[in-house]
Amino acid sequence: MLDKITELSHEYGTPEYIQGGGGNTSAKNEETLWVKPSGTTLAELTEDMFVAMDRQKLGKLFETEMPVESSAREAAVMDLMMAAMYPYSSGRPSVEAPLHDTLDATFVVHTHPQLVNGMTCAKNGFEVCKRLFPEALWVEYVDPGYTLCSVIRGRIKDYVASKGHQPEMVIIENHGIFVASHTAGGIRKIYKTVMNGLRKEYKKEKVSPHLEVGVPPSATLKEEITKVLQKVMGKEAEGVCASGAFKVASGPLTPDHVVFMKSYPLIGDPTAKVLTAFKAQYGYFPKVISVKDGVFTVGPNEKNAELTMRFAKDGALVEQLANGLAGVKYMSEQARGFIENWEVEVYRQKVAMGKT
């Protein structure tokens, strides 16, 4: 079972399905759930890295009264999850472990493909989903973490009540897809159906599934822009990544995009005055800067800036696809605010645990 889920993790850990450490996979039998640890990428997963959890203890999560305040709730959930881990197991289970446990199927593969998110971020996403994948369970946007797990758990119960079995596909607005099957072949078959169905739909709507990127900016332009970014943003812009021009996403698409790119890019030349005004308006400096001849991403180091560029391109394609349907629909103010604060909380916890 573990070799099969590792193989699936690598297969669906490619940029077509996921960027950075996003997405998660699991396998289970009656007693045990093996789930991807947080902070690892699907592509790098090895069999011994899966976190082994006692399903009986994990099930208690939904029988326990949880604090209402979100960071206290997330902390209580994490405590219960750590307590459900077998003593021989190490790592930190993915926050979505309880959702993996709720799905009865042996294998669960959760990803954020651009083709899927073009639909989940479209104004008519629900209609398109219902028409293309009538058997899928569509769930309107939910804050990630425990809320996501408990809301979807309830929706799965409703689904079972009306259809007599659990869904094989759970598609979440402004987020991504969960695919569940008892066999690895089943997972592949469902993903193929989803990806091919969407490819046909975009073709019908005459929207390209590829992002057009212009020629790389000149060394002089990169130097000029890097200089001003570093002067104004200091350590936050130690890493700068440059790309040829493309049409960047203008707002918050999914939780992962907000985590890496913040909710809004800066469109226009980044002068000191413009950057300061941007920060005054949004509370942070931009992570993505789009000028006429290129796109620049910044981070505390090169690696982070490069990862942000991957998300910028991913988001640009998602927005392009969504606009090819009935138009892009961004996350609500409340939803993006939750992620921006959630990140702070996660970071704070990391610091508290001595991990940074």
Q: Which residues pair with 54 in a beta bridge?
A: 32
- Around Cβ 163, how many Cβ atoms within 10 Å? 11
| Nearest by Cα to 25 from 197, 176, 193 | 176
Interface stretch with Zn ion, choices 175-183, 201-209, 242-250, 294-302 (CB under 5 A): 175-183
C-alpha closest to that of 285 among 317, 303, 308, 310? 308
The smaller minimum CB distance to Zn ion, of residues 170 and 325, is found at 170
Cβ pair 13, 25 in contact under 8 A: no
3-state secondary structure at position 8: helix
Minimum separation from the CB atom of position 148 to Zn ion (A): 8
We find the least distance from the C-beta atom of residue 341 to Zn ion, in angstroms, to be 18
Residue type, 25: T
Whichever of 207 and 346 has its CB closer to Zn ion, that residue is 346
In whole angstroms, the minimum distance from the beta carbon of 117 to Zn ion comes to 10
Query: Nearest to residue 97, comparing CAs of 113, 112, 84, 88?
Result: 84
How are strands ordered across the β-sheet holding 239-243? 239-243, 294-299, 288-291, 266-267
Q: Judged by CB under 5 A, which stretch of 130-138, 172-180, 220-228, 323-331 contacts Zn ion?
A: 172-180
Least CB distance to Zn ion at residue 142 (A): 11
Nearer Cβ to Zn ion (129/295)? 129
Cβ closer to Zn ion: 98 or 176? 176
Which region, judged by CB under 5 A, interacts with Zn ion, from 46-54, 69-77, 170-178, 288-296?
A: 170-178
Site string for Zn ion, 59-98 (x = CB under 5 A): ----------------------------------------
List strand residue ranges (DSSP E) for the chain, in order. 24-28, 32-35, 51-54, 107-111, 137-139, 169-172, 176-181, 239-243, 266-267, 288-291, 294-299
The minimum distance between CB 96 and Zn ion, in angstroms, equals 7
Stretch that binds Zn ion, among 1-9, 124-132, 176-184, 318-326 (CB under 5 A): 176-184
C-beta of 21 vs 324, nearer to Zn ion: 21
Return all residues near 4 (Cβ < 8 A) that are at least 6 apart. 27, 107, 184
Which CB sits closer to Zn ion, 260 or 296?
260
Supply 270's token pair: 């980044």
Least distance CB 177 / Zn ion (angstroms) = 9
Total of chain residues touching Zn ion, rule CB under 5 A: 1
Smallest gap from Cβ 116 to Zn ion, in A, equals 11
Can you give the binding site for Zn ion, defined by CB under 5 A? 176
